[in-house]
Structure 1
Amino acid sequence: MRRRVGFRLRLFAALALMAMVAATAVAFPAPTASAATGGATGFATQNGGTTGGAGGQTVRATTGTAIHAALCGRASSSTPITIQVEGTINHGNTSKVSGGSCNTAAGVIELKQISNVTLVGVGNGAVFDQLGIHVRESSNIIIQNVTVRNVKKSGSPTSNGGDAIGMENNVRNVWVDHVTLEASGGESEGYDGLFDLKNNTRYVTLSYSVLRNSGRGGLVGSSESDTSNGFITYHHNLYENIDSRAPLLRGGIGHMYNNHYLRVNDSGINSRAGARARVDNNYFEDSKDVLGTFYTNEAGYWQVNGNVFDNVRWSSPGNQNNPAGPNPQSNTSVSIPYAHSLDGANCVPSVVRDTAGANKGNRVSDGNCVPQNPDPTDPPDNPDPPDPTDPPGGTNLSLTADADGSSKASGTSYGNVRDGDMNTYWSPTGSTGAISIKWPSATGVSAVTIREASGATGVIGNWRVVNADTGSVLATGNGAGTIRFASTSVRKITFEITSANGTPRVAEYETYA
């Protein structure tokens, strides 16, 4: 007996067969001049391309609150930023943070009304546990190398309407790559979709990812009238132990190639309400009704090429049930505006096994059924920040500057942070406060190093580096060390501690050109 999740969706009653439609050509918007940028593939390369936070600062976050703080600490909602995430992000460490460059909420990672952001797992990995990622009214977003699991819409705790990753309301250009999205049941157990796109979401790619153990893989369009979405690519993904929606496509265009569908229990690619799916070189295995129009009499269409159907079961056609098999034939024609290489369908299970999901080293296929590591000659898209124990080269500009701050504890001095002596230090009167370095005339600064006094290392929590002349935030992060940012001309630069595990002791606040 095949293993199945215990929450199978009930099939709708089948009545009469829908008439096959005539072949219809699909017109795409003209491709933009820009090619794939930042590693993006598929439709995410169109409409100007998807580069995320390329060219902006890189910060590290180990909590959901720190992710929100990084977004809110930018100069504007479109200032590029790469947020490197490590550790477990959950309800207990994800709070709302306010600011002019963000719109966040507690209990969900909120990428709302922003642009030019990369969220990438690094180090030992990033797990969003029972906590969804919500993209809303945003553009040019990259989400890479993270695991999102067990997000619920009912029961406790709830997050993101039950979606692991959800996008809605005028979203443009999102690349989701090498992620693992998983649940532990279906709607009756409190879960919803793993990857849902709604209300005018366009130019999205989901690549080299794993979606498993869920009643619903994902949808494009929340209802038969929500047909404003489209231009979505799904490639080199594993759909495993999914009941339905792999994906459900309402209106718009979808391109599914080189995916491995393993134990899709009720229905797979559900093209309906005028949707048009291009289905190339996929491997469908031990599954049922992997392509067609299901649970509606509003027809969708498909073009099929080079797919393998291995132990696929097909139901009988009827009203609200139009499977494409047992011998799937194209009933439309869909042109694809971007370059892509197709692996042969027979090798898709092995290629996807070796490349798809988080913590796979971002391996990809070379288009000839051979997994490859990222090109070592290419600069990394998201390099680790410099070792905090390595200060920048050059002269410590603080040694000839002055200092002030928000408060100072008894026995400490502002000047202690610029005297070159690790035995003296400044502390605020509580666990938070600010210390500043200042000069009589504008001075170029591109890095600072914060050194904690002996016996107080690891006390500093979240912080911001602020251009005190303008109030703009130059960098945000967590813990002491070296902080780099775009070179800025300042007369006063402030290190503001916003959280700490006790009373901070800053021995040296070094500044470098």
Structure 2
Amino acid sequence: MRRSVTLRVLTALATGAVGAAVAVGLPSLEASAAAVGTPTGYASMNGGTTGGNGGATVRATTGTQIHQALCSRASSSTPITIEVEGTINHGNTTKVSGDSCNTAADKIELKEISNVTIIGTGGGAVFDQLGIHIRDSSNIIIQNVTVRNVKKSGSPTSNGGDAIGMESTVRNVWVDHVNLEASGGEDAGYDGLFDLKDDVQYVTLSYAYLRNSGRGGLIGSSESDTGNSFITFHHNRYENIDSRTPLLRGGIAHIYNNFYYSLNESGINSRAGARAKVENNYFQNSMNVLGTFYTDAAGYWQASGNILDNVTWSSPDSETNPAGPSMPSNTTVSVPYSYRLDGASCVPDIVRQTAGANTGMRTSNGSCTATNPPTTQPTTPPTTRPTTTPPTTTPTTPPTQPSGTNLSLASGAGADGSSKGSGTSYGNVKDGNIGTYWSPNGTTGSISIKWGSATTVSRINIRPASGSGTIGSYRVLNADTGAVLKTGTGSGVITFAATSLKKVTFEIQSASGTPQIGEFETYAS
């Protein structure tokens, strides 16, 4: 069972009185802006994470104005950057309705939307006792904000007690330079600082400061919720936390260059088949910093280059499998993107200089030196730089219809995707009927075919429905690993090296008009 441990050191955070309701007008419209920098890690994969880049910018000083900004868009996928200043709380956050939003009064709700950036500006942005909830959404950036004292019990409650929570088919989220804080553990009414569950993938948490909580965060809500994957944690500062930094249930996580101080009970808890690449982190004055804890469902790790400074370990038992004292690896994990790795010895210093909100958005240059953010920002998705040989490009003229068995129609085959347009379904791409189709919620998105066991695929056939917009550039991905199998333009038959996988993804990176995929056929040869 999960053990309850009182936080050793509790830094009191002034919650303040809940602010009075503020009269709300439409947020002010500013010139086009963008998030600061681009993500490293899994948020750079699956088409990249650009948030509201290229769209309008509005300013908001209340939670209601944030919701109004979302609801005033032409559609739920129209790009927007929301610059937030001041304290956002229950007193100034109300539900706003509209065709392009689905909001709630007790949290900042990013639900069934895409292409949004929320960034703190000016004197800072504090979400006080009010969590940020991301559900059924994609391409979201949250930067330079503080979220504190979110409760699941007591008063007021918000977001199930999570500072930032994601659930139910969420793709491509970058959370960067934020403070996530509580004032105690579960007994005091708090839950996790950063929780991901029910099909969340391609997320990066970077340069964040997480502190004073019983639970740092989890990936997967139970031992059966193992579909969450491809999460990167780098250059984060965890301080005075009992456990879950993070708790991993299934999936793949990359955890590097983080500074852990005063983990009171356990740290990185890999369970239920999860695989974590843990490298060049610094653990200080902490206990059980890596292993499988509170379960007999084993997890795995590849650990290298980490520094253990005054770390203690429990003895193994039926529900405790600590990796210490030497933390040998019990699996191997490869990541499909490039990144710069600081030496572990400098991690405490570089993370103290860069992590958290209101720190100037500085980052590490990979040589233990803090650098200022770029002065200009891109408005197009970042280019992914795989660590392996770049894939070849498919010609725009498709080959002939493939022969053999369409594996998408096999018993047990399923489908999912990044988003779906109104009236469409993921399953329409595998029903054998070209007249039914899936389309993304916008002009870009991804659609996948998946199986319960490894299946060899070397060819796919993307068959647009009648009236579909023209597909521009695409990528074919091994969704198990994030590896790029093919890039090209157009649709039709696409051939690549035979690959054994459980899920293959067709990612539309550009299109003229809304693409409509009637069938996503898959073949062994």
The TM-score with structure 1 as length reference comes to: 0.67
1:4 aligned residue (8, 11, 25): 8
| Number of the residue aligned with 1:45 | 44
In the TM superposition, residue 375 of structure 1 has moved relative to its aligned partner by: 2.6
Aligned equivalent of 1:256: 255
Task: Give the distance between the partners of 1:327 and 1:96, measured in 2 at CA.
Answer: 51
Q: Work out the CA distance in 2 between the residues paired with 1:134 and 1:332.
A: 33
State whether residues 303 and 327 of structure 2, in contact with CA within 8 Å, keep that contact through their aligned partners in structure 1. Answer: yes
Task: Please name the residue that 1:195 is paired with.
Answer: 194
Q: Which runs of structure 2 are paired with 1:121-160 in the superposition (5 Å)?
A: 121-160=120-159
Equivalents in 2 of 1:153, 1:239: separation in Å? Answer: 21
Query: Is the alpha carbon distance of 1:142 and 1:298 closer, same or farther for their aligned partners in structure 2, counting shifts above 3 Å?
Result: same
Task: Determine if the alignment matches structure 1 residue 375 to structure 2 residue 379.
Answer: no
Alpha-carbon distance between aligned partners in 2 of 1:125 and 1:338, rounded to the nearest angstrom: 32
Q: CA deviation at 1:107?
A: 1.5
Cα displacement (A) at 1:37: 10
Is the CA contact (8 Å cut-off) linking 2:10 and 2:212 kept in structure 1?
Answer: no
Amino acid at match of 2:8: R
How far apart are the structure 1 equivalents of 2:7 and 2:71? 45
Aligned to 1:214: 213
Letter in 2 for 1:4: R
Q: Which amino acid aligns with 1:61?
A: A
**What SS does the aligned partner of 1:342 have?**
coil
Superposition deviation, residue 40 in structure 1: 1.3
Partner of 2:210, secondary structure, is strand
Stretches of structure 1 lacking an aligned partner (at least 5 in a row): 8-35, 382-513
2:192 counterpart SS class: coil
Amino acid at match of 1:192: D
Secondary structure of the equivalent of 2:214? strand
- CA distance 1:116–1:272, shift in 2 (3 Å): same
In structure 2, runs of 5+ residues without a counterpart are 1-5, 12-34, 380-525
Point out which structure has higher relative CO (alpha carbons under 8 A, 6+ apart). Answer: 1
Tell me, in whole angstroms, the C-alpha distance in 2 between the residues paired with 1:375 and 1:39: 10
- 8 Å contact 2:300–2:331 — kept in the other structure? yes
Deviation of the 1:290 alpha carbon: 0.2
The equivalent residue for 2:311 is 312
Structure-2 separation of matches of 1:5 and 1:236: 23
Contact kept? 2:152, 2:159, Cα under 8 Å? yes
Separation in 1, partners of 2:368, 2:201: 29
**CA distance change for structure 1 residues 267 and 252 in 2, over 3 Å: closer, same or farther?**
same
Q: 1:138 is matched by which residue type in structure 2?
A: S
Distance 2:377 2:315 in 1: 53
CA distance in 2, matches of 1:239, 1:69: 34
Which aligned pairs between 1:16-415 and structure 2 lie closer than 5 A?
A: 39-376=38-375, 378-379=376-377
Deviation at 1:189, TM superposition (A): 0.2
Secondary structure in 2 aligned to 1:67?
helix
Summarize the Cα distance change of 1:78–1:38 in structure 2 as closer, same or farther, 3 Å threshold.
farther
Letter in 2 for 1:154: S
Query: Structure 2: how far apart are the matches of 1:274 and 1:337?
Result: 20
Equivalent position SS for 1:95: coil
What is the aligned length?
Answer: 351
Q: RMSD in angstroms over aligned alpha carbons?
A: 1.6
Structure 2 distance, partners of 1:336, 1:54, is 26
User: Following the alignment from structure 2 to structure 1, what is the Cα–Cα distance between the partners of residues 354 and 277?
Assistant: 22
* Cα distance in structure 2, aligned partners of 1:252 and 1:43: 12
Q: For the residues of structure 2 that align with 1:234 and 1:306, how far apart are their CA atoms?
A: 16
* Deviation of the 1:6 alpha carbon: 7.2
What's the counterpart of residue 436 of structure 1?
Answer: none
8 Å CA contact retained: 2:36, 2:361: no
Structure 1 distance, partners of 2:321, 2:283, is 18
Q: CA deviation at 1:380?
A: 8.1
Q: Distance in 2 between matches of 1:3 and 1:180?
A: 18
Contact between 1:268 and 1:291, CA under 8 Å: does it hold in 2? yes
Q: Distance in 2 between matches of 1:134 and 1:185?
A: 21
How far the C-alpha of 1:307 sits from its partner, in A, is 0.3
Report deviation, 1:101. 0.1
Aligned counterparts of 2:140 and 2:94: Cα–Cα separation in 1 = 21
Q: Aligned partner of 2:190: which letter? A: Y
Matching residue of 1:13: none
- Cα deviation for residue 128 of structure 1 reads 0.1
1:41: Cα distance to partner? 1.3
Alignment-derived partner of residue 411 in structure 1: none
Counterparts of 2:339 and 2:151 in 1: how far apart (Å)? 35
Pair 1:3–1:67, CA change in 2 (3 A): closer
1:97-149: CA deviations, max 9, x gaps?
Answer: 00000000001000000000000000000000000000000000000000000
Following TM superposition, where does structure 1 have runs of at least 4 consecutive aligned residues deviating by more than 4 angstroms? Answer: none
Task: Confirm or deny: 8 A CA contact 2:87 2:126 kept in the other structure.
Answer: yes
Structure with bigger gyration radius: 1
Paired residue secondary structure (1:104): coil
Residues 239, 260 of structure 1: 8 Å contact kept: yes
Identity among equivalent positions (%) equals 74
Cα distance in 2 between the residues matched to 1:300 and 1:308: 21
Secondary structure at the aligned position of 1:101 is classed as coil
CA offset at residue 277 of structure 1? Answer: 0.4
How far does the alpha carbon of each residue in 1:355-405 deviate from its partner, in whole angstroms, 9 at most, with x for none?
A: 0000011000000000010134x3488xxxxxxxxxxxxxxxxxxxxxxxx
3-state secondary structure, aligned to 2:347 = helix
User: Which whole-Å CA distance do the structure 1 matches of 2:55 and 2:340 have between them?
Assistant: 31
Distance, in Å, in 2 between the alignment partners of 1:6 and 1:64 is 28
